[in-house]
Amino acid sequence: MILTLTPNPSIDRTVALDGELTRGQVHRVASVTSQAGGKGVNISRAAVSADIPSIAVVPAAKDDPFVLELLGAGIDCRPVPPAGDVRVNLTITEPDGTTTKLNSPGAPVLPLHCELMAQAVLVRGGTADWTVLAGSLPAGAPADFYADLVRRLRKVGGRVAVDTSEAPLLALVDALPDAAPDLMKPNGDELASFTGGDPDQLEADPRAAAAAARRLVERGVGAVLATLGGHGAVLVTPEGAWHAAPPPTTVVSTVGAGDSSLFGYVLGDVRGLSAPERLALAVAYGSAAAGLPGTTIPLPSQLRTELVAVTALGGTP
């Protein structure tokens, strides 16, 4: 079973334009889609599509349309009392795949709300194959919320993955090795935020990305899956480092691609695949998601894992 926590869920509204976005101009909209989302929620969606049991913990009222949508999609949603309404995030996509995101902050939370989320995870974490803590934190939550929760999850057992950015990511890195998760999934920008490197260089150079990720592994993180956009991803573990190049993909929307990659890795681990095979499955999921509109999570039948090229990065610092 895969347990997910999305502390700052969102209604993901995607507006697809039929031309290039130009500030100050009137645009024609080709389509509008809306879906209950958030990083953890997206991973639970992917799990259900792959016939893997999943529980999604989200702060929302039991009768909120957000919760009802997830339940209707077959997701075992466990809502905890929220601080306010679920936020709305807006994504604008252009025909060439360029994506512009406008994310709302979410309702400010009190310490009680944070503890209710933590308890909902802790009571189930010991029976989960993986617990995935994913996404931004709502206003009012302490930056070290994830770091503290990882420490607490260590006492109940099970493996922990964390996918976050900005202050929560820096707080987690600062808390290593005491709060080291089994898996972290940064992208190029997030790697650069704590290494001081150039994000564009890290994304374009798998060896540079692997060297940056290695710093996390050396500080106790079990594995680092660094997603590099169109350049694929690298995986670094204590045993080695690998790069996977994605199959040819016509990018439609990059929203949810990183979440899909993270699920692909976790799915590979649940299936007992080797590290290179887990990486290949992660990149297959991420590239398939990038070729779909909005926040659409790919089905297993839409993967092209056989077209993912994995290379060992021998000699990586």
Q: Which helix (H) or strand (E) holds 195?
A: helix 188-195
State the residue range of the domain holding 15: 2-20+30-312
Predicted TM-score of the model (pTM): 0.91
Which positions ≥6 away from 301 have C-beta within 8 Å?
Answer: none
Length of the chain equals: 317
State the DSSP code for 187.
B
- pLDDT computed for residue 106 by the predictor: 85
Q: How far apart are CA 109 and CA 114, in angstroms?
A: 7
What residues are labeled active site?
A: 259
What is the pLDDT of the chain when averaged over all its residues? 93
Domain for residue 25, yes or no?
no
Q: Give the total number of structural domains in the chain.
A: 1
| 141-166 pLDDT per residue, tens | 999 999 999 999 999 988 999 999 99
CATH assignment at residue 245: 3.40.1190.20
The three state secondary structure string of 232-277 is CEEEEECCEEEEEECCCCCCCCCCCHHHHHHHHHHHHHHCCCCHHH
Q: 6 near 26, Cβ under 8 Å?
A: no
Domain for residue 91, yes or no?
yes
Q: How far apart are CA 75 and CA 53, in angstroms?
A: 9
Domain for residue 317, yes or no?
no
Tell me the DSSP string of 144-184: THHHHHHHHHHTT-SEEEEE--HHHHHHHHHTTTTT--SEE
> If you average pLDDT over residues 226-255, what whole number do you get?
91
Domain for residue 260, yes or no?
yes
- pLDDT computed for residue 317 by the predictor: 47
- pLDDT computed for residue 316 by the predictor: 52
Domain for residue 292, yes or no?
yes
| 285-310 pLDDT per residue, tens | 999 998 888 778 888 999 999 999 99
Domain for residue 257, yes or no?
yes
Phi/psi at 243 (nearest 5 deg)? -120, 140
11 pLDDT above the threshold of 90: yes
Q: 187 near 226, Cβ under 8 Å?
A: yes
| 126-142 pLDDT per residue, tens | 999 999 999 999 999 99
- pLDDT computed for residue 315 by the predictor: 56
Domain for residue 255, yes or no?
yes
Which positions ≥6 away from 210 have C-beta within 8 Å?
Answer: 226, 234, 236, 241, 243, 313, 316
In 282-304, which positions are buried (b, 16+ CB within 10 angstroms) versus exposed (e)? bbbbbbbbbbbebbbbbebebbe
Domain for residue 175, yes or no?
yes
